[in-house]
Structure 1
Amino acid sequence: MAALGDLTAERLTPGNLGAQRERDAASRPRPTVAELRADGRFAVEELSVPGGEGRPDVTLVHARPADATGPLPALYYMHGGGMIMGNAWSVLPKILRDWSGPLGLAVVSVEYRLAPETPYPGPLEDCHAGLVWTAEHADELGIDGERVIIGGKSAGGGLAAALTLLNRDLNRERGEGPVPVGQLLQCPMLDDRLDTPSAHRMAGIGLWDRSSTAVAWQAYLGERYGTADLSPYAAPARATDLSGLPPTYIDVGSAETFRDENVAYAHAIWQAGGDAELHVWPGAFHGFDSVAPAAALTRAARHARTQWLSRTVERSRR
């Protein structure tokens, strides 16, 4: 695997966001629906669903093994990119190859609006509207609405954690919304305060550091950034009650900014009586599995995620 000290990247600033988006789009080209179908192995459709009162429609990309029958468990997924970059399509090739095909899993990937053009709570509202619509239309999608896992990576992992908290609270207060059977959080971006030892220690190191993360949080939160009373739906590390969450998978590298906030989130779930599986991959940096897809550590991480998904899907059958 590439050495962390050998990896350099231009730090994100408000002034270079446009250029960074162009580079990101070039490095992660958006596949077409025909490409995602992979010579007929997968059924793929783009859906436009209501975004809620006064908000635009939300685009969902629904994919599943083409030969699968019966209602399938589903992974409702949010892409990474600091909530300022990325798209719902580019994450799908790996998800379909690693999880959908082997596990017989449907995937719904969310094209949420990006900051700073759409700050909080807009992206989370998009994710929530898509989740509610997916659950309400599960039968016509061929999805088992009682076997949905919420997941995401990096900023998408933070959105997944926020969505799970919001969905839990709506269930508690109003009896509304689906009840997910798990949440899969890959190196999630959880804490806008960026005041952990790992955040400080990794400043200026690696592909995505404390300064770039701060710019992303500022774009997402605007004037709310760093305020004492920030909602946990905006930054899940602010949550004081992590009870009642579904079984959770969290993984993170030992050499990345998000390490300590991820470990703390797992500990808080345990302390609230919940079920969390935590992996801290030794020497791994943010995005290591994309930079070094054939590395032994990447294979181990991919296997651990797949095994957790498989166990969660099997447990949900009971």
Structure 2
Amino acid sequence: MTGTPDLRPLIAAPHPDRAPLPPAAPAGPGVRLLRGVPYAELPGVRPLELDLWLPENAGADPLPLLFFVHGGAWRRGRREDMGYRMRGWTPGPFARIAASGFAVASADYRLSGEAVFPAPLDDLRDALAWIARRSGELGIDTARTVVWGESAGGHLAALLALADDTPAVSGAVVWYAPSDLTLDGDNPHSPEALLLGGAPATLAERAAQASPLHRVHPGAPPFLLMHGESDTLVDCDHSRRLAARLTEVGAPTRLRTVPGADHVWHGLPEAEVEDVFRTSLEWALRRVR
């Protein structure tokens, strides 16, 4: 009917760039949490959200950013999960990182059942871009950003740090992550194949593009690579080879292999898990101070 208003703009939720931030809730001593902040709208896809942990008394200066990427074989996983060894911590790992002086963001990304590579990497770049656009009201200095990921999330964090079209980061913490997807061969049902959309042997160029080992370049940021020597899911050699390649091009690189540790730090005594976490956080703080 002529003159009838178009209701679609009224029905749609506000665009993430303009939507009000959710109210903050306490998330540990001296830390507040903004949970479920939309950062991207993609047609036909669930809203992509991130969580933000912020120190209560940050002062006047903008905070450095710790951008975390969850694992789950690119097939599952949740943004609030840093790994099963840390699920029972009180306060939790993200609250601990925020209490040290970081703003902490952990973002959704499309899983391999929703879209194939490079979709998850595109989503994480969009999350970083959203934070940069709203950095003034959030009090975040995105020029001081450390990316940190575990397992499949470590793989994506490494790609973020190495990508030419991602704003430069100050460092990358990578826990027990695959670095070379070209090794997976012709299995069409492996997690790597589901990420790529086909067996790596049949998608050699895409597998190389999705492999941090093949994306290393001079001028790469500093890396901290940590990997269990007894990892039965992602061989420790992935981190050894990536460390060697980074060192070869002159990137400041620290590799720590952990004796007796399987994937996700399984089998490691609790005190050593705490030490791995503390070492990673201290390394990240040095990158932004």
Report the TM-score when normalising by structure 1.
Answer: 0.71
**C-alpha distance in structure 1 between counterparts of 2:43 and 2:276, whole Å:** 40
Deviations 1:204-232 (A, max 9, x none): xxxxxxx9x97211211122623332354
- Residue in structure 1 matched with residue 93 of structure 2 by the alignment: 95
In 2 relative to 1, CA 244–94 (structure 1 residues): closer, same or farther, beyond 3 Å? farther
Q: Is the 8 A contact 1:77 1:107 kept in 2?
A: yes
> Which has the bigger relative contact order, CA under 8 A and spacing at least 6?
1
Q: Is the 8 A contact 1:75 1:150 kept in 2?
A: yes
| Residue-pair matches, total | 255
**C-alpha distance in structure 1 between counterparts of 2:45 and 2:189, whole Å:** 27
Q: How far 1:283 moved relative to its partner?
A: 1.6
Pick aligned residue for 2:31 from 17, 23, 41: 41
- The residue type equivalent to 2:156 in the other structure is L
Q: Report SS of the residue matched to 1:64.
A: strand
- The residue type equivalent to 2:148 in the other structure is G
Q: Which has the larger radius of gyration?
A: 2
In 2 relative to 1, CA 165–36 (structure 1 residues): closer, same or farther, beyond 3 Å? farther
Q: Report SS of the residue matched to 2:126.
A: helix
- Residue in structure 1 matched with residue 19 of structure 2 by the alignment: none
Runs of at least 4 residues off by over 4 Å: 33-36, 51-57
Pick aligned residue for 1:234 from 206, 210, 232: 210
Q: Report SS of the residue matched to 2:238.
A: helix
Q: How far 1:253 moved relative to its partner?
A: 0.6
Query: Counterparts in 2 of 1:100-249, with a 5 A limit?
Result: 100-101=98-99, 103-166=100-163, 169-170=164-165, 178-194=167-183, 215-223=190-198, 225-226=200-201, 227-230=203-206, 232-239=208-215, 241-249=216-224
**C-alpha distance in structure 1 between counterparts of 2:105 and 2:221, whole Å:** 19
Gaps of 5+ in 1: 1-32, 171-176, 197-210
- The residue type equivalent to 1:306 in the other structure is L
**C-alpha distance in structure 1 between counterparts of 2:259 and 2:286, whole Å:** 24
Q: Report SS of the residue matched to 1:129.
A: helix
Pick aligned residue for 1:279 from 234, 250, 256: 256
**C-alpha distance in structure 1 between counterparts of 2:217 and 2:116, whole Å:** 25
Q: Report SS of the residue matched to 1:230.
A: helix
Q: Is the 8 A contact 1:42 1:65 kept in 2?
A: yes
**C-alpha distance in structure 1 between counterparts of 2:121 and 2:193, whole Å:** 16
In 2 relative to 1, CA 83–142 (structure 1 residues): closer, same or farther, beyond 3 Å? same
Q: How far 1:116 moved relative to its partner?
A: 2.2
- The residue type equivalent to 2:177 in the other structure is P
Q: How far 1:252 moved relative to its partner?
A: 0.2
- Residue in structure 2 matched with residue 202 of structure 1 by the alignment: none
Gaps of 5+ in 2: 1-22
- Residue in structure 2 matched with residue 258 of structure 1 by the alignment: 235
**C-alpha distance in structure 2 between counterparts of 1:65 and 1:232, whole Å:** 39
**C-alpha distance in structure 2 between counterparts of 1:75 and 1:183, whole Å:** 10
**C-alpha distance in structure 2 between counterparts of 1:133 and 1:52, whole Å:** 14
**C-alpha distance in structure 1 between counterparts of 2:277 and 2:253, whole Å:** 17
Most deviating of 54-63 and 114-123: 54-63
Q: How far 1:56 moved relative to its partner?
A: 6.6
Deviations 1:63-92 (A, max 9, x none): 112222231111111101111111112339
- The residue type equivalent to 2:212 in the other structure is P
**C-alpha distance in structure 2 between counterparts of 1:243 and 1:54, whole Å:** 39
Q: Is the 8 A contact 1:192 1:214 kept in 2?
A: no
- The residue type equivalent to 1:60 in the other structure is L
Q: How far 1:163 moved relative to its partner?
A: 1.6
Deviations 1:231-256 (A, max 9, x none): 544222333x4322111111001111
Percent sequence identity over aligned pairs: 29
Alpha-carbon RMSD across the aligned residues, in angstroms, is: 2.9
Q: Report SS of the residue matched to 1:184.
A: strand
- Residue in structure 2 matched with residue 63 of structure 1 by the alignment: 53
Select the structure that is richer in helix.
1
Q: Is the 8 A contact 1:190 1:235 kept in 2?
A: yes
Q: How far 1:302 moved relative to its partner?
A: 2.0
Q: Report SS of the residue matched to 2:34.
A: strand
- Residue in structure 2 matched with residue 5 of structure 1 by the alignment: none
